[in-house]
Homo-oligomer: A and B are copies of this chain.
Amino acid sequence: MPSLADATRGRLLFGGDYNPEQWPESIWPEDVRLMREAGVTTVTVGVFSWAKLEPTPGARDFGWLRRILDLLHEGGIEVCLATPTASPPPWLGELHPGTLPVTAEGTTLSWGSRNQWCPSSADYRRHALGLVDDLAAAFGHHPAVRMWHVGNEYGPVCHCEETADRFRDWLGKRYGTLEAVNAAWGTAFWSQQHATWSTVTPPRAAPYLPNPAQQLDFRRFCSDVLLACFTAERDVLRRHTPELPVTTNFMTLFPHVDCWAFAAEEDVVSLDSYPDPADPRAMVWASLGQDMTRSQARGPWLQMEMAASAVNWRGVNRAKPVDRLRLEAYQAIARGADGLCFFQWRASRSGAEKFHSALLPHAGPDSPQHLAVRTLGAELPLLAEVVGTRVEADVAVVLDWSNWWALEQRGRPSDRVDLAPIALAWHGALWDAHLTADYVHPEADLGGYRMVVVPNLYLAGDAAVDNLTGYVAAGGTLVAGFFTGVADEQDAVRPGGMDERLRALLGVHPLEWRPLDAPAELAGGGTADLWSEDLCLAPGTETVLAFADGTPAATRRGRACYLATLPEPAVLQRLLADAAGRAGAAPALPGLPAGVEAVRRGDLLFLLNHTAEPCELTLPGPHRDLLTARAIARDPAVLHLDPYGVAVLRP
C-alpha cells in the first residue's frame, strides 16, 4: 500500500492549496517563482475545480490543468491533486435536483456556495465518479502528481427520499428485520412503531422531542454513506494509480464523520486545523487535533490546511502573530506531522473566503507575514531527519463518535454536557501535566498503554465495556469520567442506570444524577462543574476527591478511578498526573514549567514555549538544537527558550 512516505521521500512537505483557476494564466509563472523562493515543496490543486474541469454536463476542459501541472513540475513543485467533488457546478443541481441536499424541515439547499450535494444521490455519484475516472486517467501519471486528495472536509447531510431509501438499506443490513429496527429504536415509546419499511425515514421536523435511537442511527448512516462516497472515489483512483497515496482532510473535533472509520480507508491521514489566535489555550486545542490525527494515522500524518494568519469565518477574526505561526508549525511536527500545508497559497480577490489569510497575502510578497512564511520554509529542511519517525505515548484517551452522537441529544439530564468541551478539558489536563497521549477507539487494543482515560463514554457497547474491564484486569490503570457506561449500543439505558460490569470495576453505583448549573466548591479548594451524583460506593472504593458537602466527587478502586464531576483544570490535572504517576507514565522531561510543551518524536526532543516569558530548562545531558545548530553542553545542560520559542534537540 502506498503511504505518506511515498510523498515525503525524506522531506517535510511545505505548501498549501493552490487555485490557479482564480487567476489569469499570466500570473502563474510568478506564483511558481514565489513558491520556490518560499521553499514550497507541494501544492494541492483542484479542490474546487469541478466547474472548470466539466464546464457543461459531460464536457472535459483539462487543458488549463495540464498547463499548470507542467509549469509546477518545471518549477520543481510537486502536486497533491484533488478530486473536485466537494462542490458540484450549478448545472448539476439544475439537471438533477435530487443531488441537492434537503434539510429536516424540507428546505432544499441550492448552489451558490459549496457542498450542495446529497451523499445518497446516485446521480451525484455517477457524475462525480465519471469525472474522477477521467481525471485519474489524464493526470494520474503526470510527473508532478504525488498524492490524491479526495473531496473536502466530508460532512454534507441530506434528508430527502433517496436518502430515506439508502437509510432503509443501511438499517436492513444492520438489523435484518423491521422488528429489530423497532426494538433497537424503542418505538414502543410514544407509538412510533413502524408497520412497514416505508415509514422508516431520516429524522424530520416533528412536533416534539425526536426518537434518540433513530437520530443516532441516522448519524451513523450519514457517516457511513459519506465514507462510501470517499471509498468509491478512492477505488477509482487506485485502479489508475495503485502507487499513489490517497487522503481526505479531517477537522479537529469534527462531529459529522467517524474519523476512525475514515482513517482505516485512507493511505494518508490529514488534518485541517485552525486554532483561534484569540484563544489563550489554542495550543491545547491544536495538540488534541494533532494527537487524534496521529493516532488515526498510526504514524506520521499530514497537516493539510492551516492558516498563515487570520481566518474569515469567526465573528472577530484575529490575525496570527508571526512567532505564533512558527510555534504552531513546530507543534504539529512535534506531534507527528510530516508536512505543513496551508489554505491557501495566494489570497483570493473574490468569493466567500477572500478575507482568509494566505501564504501570499493581499498585502503582497514584501509584507512581514509573507516574510515569516519564507523563514519557515527555509527552516523546515533542517528537520528532515524527523520524517517518518514516531511519537510514543504512555497514555491513551478514549473517544468515540457513536457516543458523541448519542450523548448530545435533546431530553437528557443536562444540555450543558457536550462531548467536545469535556474532551478538551481532559486533554488540557494531560497537556498541563506534560503527558503526551494517543487517542483510541473504545474497542482498540489498549495493551500498550500504562494509563487509559475516558473523558466520557455515555454510550458503551458490550465490546467497549469488555475491552475496558479487560484492560484493567490485565494491569492497566483506568480513569473514567461521569455519565459513562449509561447506555448500550442502541442508546438504551443499562439496567441499574450504569453497566453492571463497569459498576463492579469502578466500585460505584450512581443512584441519582445531579447535573450542576454552576460550579460547586470542592473540599480542599477548587471547584467542579457540570455534574455530580449520588454515588453508592462498593466496599473497597475510596473517595479521592469530595465536594464541600462531603459527597464523593472522585473515587478509586484499585487501578480504576471514577470522576463524578468535571473538576476545574488544576484539580483535574492533579488527579490525572497522580494517576499517571501511579501507572508509571511520565512527561518527556521532568520539571517543566507551565506552558512549556515537551514532546519526544523519534530521537528528537521538541521543546515549545507557549508563554510570553523566556525560560530556562535543564536537560538530561548534552543536546544539539537542529534549528540553530547550537550545542547545549553538560554541567549543567541548560537550554534557553525565547518567548514563544522552539528548540528541536538531538541528544
Point out residues on A near B: beta carbons under 8 Å: 19, 21-22, 48-52, 55-56, 84, 87-91, 93-94, 101, 103, 105-116, 156, 185-196, 198-199, 201, 203-214, 278, 309-310, 312-313, 315-319, 347-355, 361-364, 367-369, 410-416, 490-493, 495-497, 509-517, 534
Contact = CB atoms under 8 A, between A and B. Distances in A.
A106 B107 contact: yes
A194 to B, nearest CB: 6
Contact of A312 (B19, B191, B206, B412): B412
A483 B238 CA distance: 48
B350 A191 contact: no
A128 B198 CA distance: 22
B199 A94 contact: yes
A315 B415 contact: yes
A47 to B, nearest CB: 9
A368 B534 CA distance: 10
B534 A189 contact: no
A109 B205 CA distance: 5
A21 B188 contact: yes
Contact of A511 (B110, B213, B367, B492): B367
A112 B203 CA distance: 7
A206 B90 contact: no
B348 A186 contact: yes
B188 A513 contact: no
8 contacts: A89-B191, A109-B207, A188-B351, A278-B517, A313-B411, A348-B493, A350-B493, A364-B496
Given A106-B108, A348-B189, A207 B116 contact: yes
A203 to B, nearest CB: 6
A211 B312 CA distance: 14
A206 B496 contact: no
A219 to B, nearest CB: 15
Contacts of A511: 363, 367-369
Given A94-B199, A351-B186, A515 B316 contact: yes
* Copies of this chain: 3
Nearest to A157: B207
Given A115-B207, A206-B113, A416 B315 contact: yes
B209 A113 contact: yes
A492 to B, nearest CB: 4
A282 to B, nearest CB: 15
B515 A317 contact: yes
A498 to B, nearest CB: 8
A411 B352 contact: yes
B189 A22 contact: yes
Given A113-B208, A204-B110, A514 B318 contact: yes
A56 B198 CA distance: 13
Given A318-B515, A318-B517, A349-B493, 16 more contacts: A22-B186, A51-B188, A112-B201, A112-B210, A113-B206, A114-B207, A116-B206, A209-B313, A209-B352, A278-B517, A312-B412, A315-B414, A316-B415, A316-B416, A367-B511, A368-B511
A485 B51 CA distance: 31
Contacts of A510: 363
A191 B88 contact: yes
Contacts of A187: 51
B315 A89 contact: no
Contacts of A109: 204-207
Contacts of A497: 361-363
Contacts of A496: 362-364
Given A312-B413, A363-B509, A490-B350, A211 B89 contact: no
Contacts of A19: 188-189
Nearest to A186: B350
Nearest to A209: B352
A648 B349 CA distance: 54
Given A109-B206, A497-B363, A412 B355 contact: yes
Residue in A101, A185, A195, A315 with the greatest tally of chain B CB atoms within 10 Å? A195
Contact of A350 (B193, B213, B317): B213
A51 B204 contact: no
A413 B317 contact: yes
Contacts of A364: 495-496
Contacts of A490: 350
B349 A190 contact: no
A126 to B, nearest CB: 18
A206 B100 CA distance: 10
B113 A211 contact: yes
- Top 4 nearest A-B pairs (CB, nearest first) are A186-B350, A189-B351, A362-B497, A113-B206
Contact of A214 (B112, B313, B495): B112
B55 A87 contact: no
A471 to B, nearest CB: 26
B194 A90 contact: yes
A492 B350 contact: yes
Contacts of A416: 315-316
Given A107-B106, A316-B516, A192 B112 contact: yes
A203 B493 CA distance: 42
Contacts of A196: 56, 91
Given A190-B352, A195-B56, A198-B94, A110 B362 contact: no
A409 to B, nearest CB: 8
Contacts of A491: 350
A207 B156 contact: yes
Contacts of A101: 207
Contacts of A310: 413, 512-513
Nearest to A159: B110
A191 B48 CA distance: 5
